[in-house]
Amino acid sequence: MTTKQLLIELMTTGLPKGETRKEMFSLYNSKVGTSKYFMRTENPRTACGSCIQRVKTNIWKWYHHDEKAPNYKGFVFTGRYVAHNMPLYTYNEK
């Protein structure tokens, strides 16, 4: 799964499950130390909902705020921030 595909999957509400969750933790852990949003390695086998949400939130903060993050065509910031100031995005293929 590419980073773009993962981010599209993470646009859904709720906590990611299955392969999406596995890929989310893999992306996060691969970037530890490269940005202020990736401070420490996270355990991908955790059942802690707030830990899973923290990883998802930090990935979106990185995408939104970090100038080194990729910028994908079709990703539209809604102008809203949700829990823990996570920027909310939608995907428009056009």
| Each residue's pLDDT tens digit, 8-65 | 999 998 999 999 999 999 999 999 999 999 999 999 999 999 999 999 999 999 999 9
Query: Domains in the chain: how many in total?
Result: 1
What is the distance of C-alpha 18 from the center of its chain? 15
pLDDT at 13: 87
pLDDT at 48: 93
Residue 42: domain span: 3-91
Q: Could you tell me the pTM of the whole model?
A: 0.94
The two structure tokens encoding residue 62: 């990185």
Residue 93's pLDDT band, with cuts at 50, 70 and 90, is confident
Residue entry with tokens 């969750």: 21
Give start and end residues of each alpha helix (H) in 38-80.
Answer: 49-65
Nearest Cα to Cα of residue 8 among 51, 59, 52, 65: 59
